[in-house]
Structure 1
């Protein structure tokens, strides 16, 4: 049987990076095994449904380069792919479990159950709807067939609960965690079908995975407690179970606990792939794309949250990740998220991209400032400064002096570098610049060094104040490369202005 995996998010808001990581691992596993990556929208919880969330999910996957093969509006071989459009399917499966004695009708009201919980709390115990309590409650196990039929006929509200087997030892297998042993007496009777006519996640995802021929369920660790019930449901239906793998949590940068939006807000990093606008409050939450991260860097970073190839190599293209990925190399323990490491990945991808490609980003982000300059000039500027940049938005601050003369000078550097005799020295440098015929970096540098030698001047007397005059700060690449780039006329003007301003 060919590999089929699914990513099944709920459209209740923006897609968290943990969800993107789950989608990524499903995608990598599918592509590694020449299988199919399915997107299914699990929108059974209509009270939390958000209208623009599904589009956000699809846009996020597309930006990451991990688009689905099969899903809403695309290769609908086993559609529909939205659970809200499949609700007529689930009832017959719930009824089949009732008919076989593996599920039952429960007519308990919310008030009745609340009273039982309160009573248990007063007795310092916990009320659990399970094999111990179900024989005494308002359900089809306790009630006679006639009483059940009467309630159903009169339209009494009910849910359908799974009848958890008693005194069984479940031996489950997880592709990441290995063997898991569960005593069924510790489980409660979960609701499979709600009183509003919608299935719960437990029933819907089992039925859908079966009907969509899903072979491997790769999902977050938070679903691990549901594995016993899901395994029992497959057994109850007599279906072949898929293989399960539960991914480790993505942890906060500091301390323990699952990474949340609150952590991002507090520490100043995104937790969503794209900007998200709340359709009710219109509040905008920042995303990795709009914050200037490359999608390749984001994906590469996510892959290393819980997975490691077992080598020293850290930079992987998507194709390389597909080739190297293995579920067996996914960690059981939580993966701590590091904003600094994420920035490191982005910086590495900055260096891997061509100067021409980075220049395109630079031009698009600074059209008004750069529209007077030749593209080849901008590409050359990028080549000189990009290694210092983490994001393309850093480039202007790193290179603005290539495009405009400094309007002021760093006060601290001015006080330190511009001495009493600096004006006189800079006037001499001015003459050397004027007399330099071939205005190339090497020749300018040679002429200045000859001047230093002839006058027995140290580098510190000339180079720092000259950089201050040209750049306005003590930053930038090789000084004589800058001077060659801006040209003789601009160089002379900048030195003259510095002499007038800093004297």
Structure 2
């Protein structure tokens, strides 16, 4: 790149940041980082009725959780109104914009008549200034909108960095409203002025904006501004091939935190959702910055797959130190009212269990029983705590009462109990697991015993005898 790359992410604070928006933010961030450029965060809050500070806070929290640091911003459009009005005034003065007094009722009548004639419904340009055209007298009591004087002929064409060449005939684009009757600017106008003022070089966004792009390009050209490169990302579909909805992923990014996903796993998953680097599946943040480009974004829709996300999350859980995971698990258990300061070492337990979990919620679920007595289901009690099983536990308890509390000796105590009773290891180990933790499967039982205190083990065995 010979120019300084500047990208932006510009969410509207009318709701949470969902996974599609997060992918757009990630690709914009990664592209800027790849080329040593700047990543700008802009909050498009001109929809006053639907925007909220709560939504702004949720967006910022999600960006920080994902580790998508911005270099400039956040900029708020509502704080830039004076600038927009300055540009509007200049456009009115040079004739690239004009006042239109057509009322909404008149527009409806125009469009109804056009539909009746089989024409595409659109503004008919009655207030558009033309050489030799006599305009109507402005009606009293009607506040005008401001319309952009779109070129009447030719076409607007750009080479989309994802979709290839895209072209629109100017005759298909009517004169866009760029300011409402109360003077507030509209979305397409604010975006153009922002991208111009912020020297944005690459606009990476969802393909639902493709139809906005020719209008924005024409406004930029009317202003004499540099036109950025555009890259429109295809939508994300659910596992069933339908539009992504709340039931399969279109939830707040922070819901993924609540559900036990690590930000590294979510970043890795999003990076592969419509972009690839060969056959690589595990891609670190550093590798993403090194490799990311727009050439390998697929123009077809990506499909969300929770199994792949779970697989990636399990990988990152294994790669994260028990000490780091312990902070997260302690926080999750504290929310459940479970105190981990008293009891087994959380770091030790995580070392035993992290290879068995695909989410941090699963890990917390497994470890919770170490810190408060588990509820043993009737089904497990009938299956594994029969009179014979409890007799075996009683025998084992006698040995555990005075054995050296380390793994080898604990293992030998279980083996000796099996030998004495003439039974196989599972006939003692499984009832022991149920008695201690309320589940029939755990990591190596001698390691589990070693992690717990002698007092806790004997007390839990006593409870089922």
- Report the TM-score when normalising by structure 2: 0.87
Instruction: Indicate the residue corresponding to 1:346 in structure 2.
Output: 313
Matched, 1:361 2:350: no
Report the Cα distance in structure 1 between the residues aligned to 2:49 and 2:383, rounded to whole angstroms.
Answer: 65
| CA offset digits 1:341-380 (Å, max 9, x no partner) | 33443333222221112222233343564355267x2211
Matched, 1:205 2:191: yes
Instruction: Indicate the residue corresponding to 1:12 in structure 2.
Output: 14
- Report the TM-score when normalising by structure 1: 0.81
Corresponding residue to 2:446 among 459, 477, 480: 480
Q: Name which of structure 1's ranges 329-338 and 458-467 shifts more when overlaid on structure 2.
A: 458-467
Count of residues paired in the alignment: 461
Corresponding residue to 2:362 among 372, 378, 394: 394
Q: Assess if the C-alpha contact under 8 Å between 1:417 and 1:465 holds in 2.
A: yes
Change (3 A) 1:311 1:439: same
Gaps of at least 5 residues in structure 2 are none
- How big is the shift at 1:270? 6.2
Matches within 5 A, 1:334-483: 334-367=301-334, 369-370=338-339, 373=342, 377-406=345-374, 408-419=375-386, 421-434=388-401, 437-453=403-419, 456-483=422-449
Report the Cα distance in structure 2 between the residues aligned to 1:369 and 1:85, rounded to whole angstroms.
Answer: 45
Change (3 A) 1:163 1:365: closer
Instruction: Indicate the residue corresponding to 2:271 in structure 1.
Output: 303
Q: Assess if the C-alpha contact under 8 Å between 2:96 and 2:148 holds in 1.
A: yes
Report the Cα distance in structure 1 between the residues aligned to 2:239 and 2:412, rounded to whole angstroms.
Answer: 50
Gaps of at least 5 residues in structure 1 are 73-80, 275-286
Instruction: Indicate the residue corresponding to 1:77 in structure 2.
Output: none
* SS in structure 2 at match of 1:366: helix
Instruction: Indicate the residue corresponding to 2:169 in structure 1.
Output: 183
- How big is the shift at 1:423? 4.4
Matches within 5 A, 1:63-82: 63-72=65-74, 81-82=75-76
Report the Cα distance in structure 2 between the residues aligned to 1:396 and 1:323, rounded to whole angstroms.
Answer: 35
Report the Cα distance in structure 2 between the residues aligned to 1:107 and 1:239, rounded to whole angstroms.
Answer: 28
- How big is the shift at 1:450? 4.6
Report the Cα distance in structure 2 between the residues aligned to 1:489 and 1:239, rounded to whole angstroms.
Answer: 75
| CA offset digits 1:251-275 (Å, max 9, x no partner) | 2332322x3xxx32x45x562134x
Change (3 A) 1:432 1:327: same
Instruction: Indicate the residue corresponding to 1:151 in structure 2.
Output: 138
Q: Assess if the C-alpha contact under 8 Å between 2:343 and 2:370 holds in 1.
A: no
Displaced runs of 4+ in structure 1, greater than 6 A?
A: none
* SS in structure 2 at match of 1:28: helix
Matched, 1:107 2:101: yes
Change (3 A) 1:186 1:121: closer
- How big is the shift at 1:474? 0.4
Matches within 5 A, 1:100-139: 100-129=94-123, 133-134=124-125, 137-139=126-128
Q: Assess if the C-alpha contact under 8 Å between 1:106 and 1:158 holds in 2.
A: yes
Instruction: Indicate the residue corresponding to 2:211 in structure 1.
Output: 225
Instruction: Indicate the residue corresponding to 1:279 in structure 2.
Output: none
* SS in structure 2 at match of 1:239: coil
Instruction: Indicate the residue corresponding to 1:277 in structure 2.
Output: none
| CA offset digits 1:383-403 (Å, max 9, x no partner) | 112222344343443134434
Q: Assess if the C-alpha contact under 8 Å between 1:106 and 1:140 holds in 2.
A: no
Report the Cα distance in structure 1 between the residues aligned to 2:130 and 2:252, rounded to whole angstroms.
Answer: 46
Change (3 A) 1:371 1:71: closer
Report the Cα distance in structure 2 between the residues aligned to 1:44 and 1:369, rounded to whole angstroms.
Answer: 44
- How big is the shift at 1:332? 1.0
Change (3 A) 1:144 1:422: closer
Report the Cα distance in structure 1 between the residues aligned to 2:386 and 2:151, rounded to whole angstroms.
Answer: 88
- How big is the shift at 1:447? 4.2
Change (3 A) 1:124 1:39: same
Report the Cα distance in structure 2 between the residues aligned to 1:211 and 1:426, rounded to whole angstroms.
Answer: 75
Report the Cα distance in structure 1 between the residues aligned to 2:282 and 2:421, rounded to whole angstroms.
Answer: 51
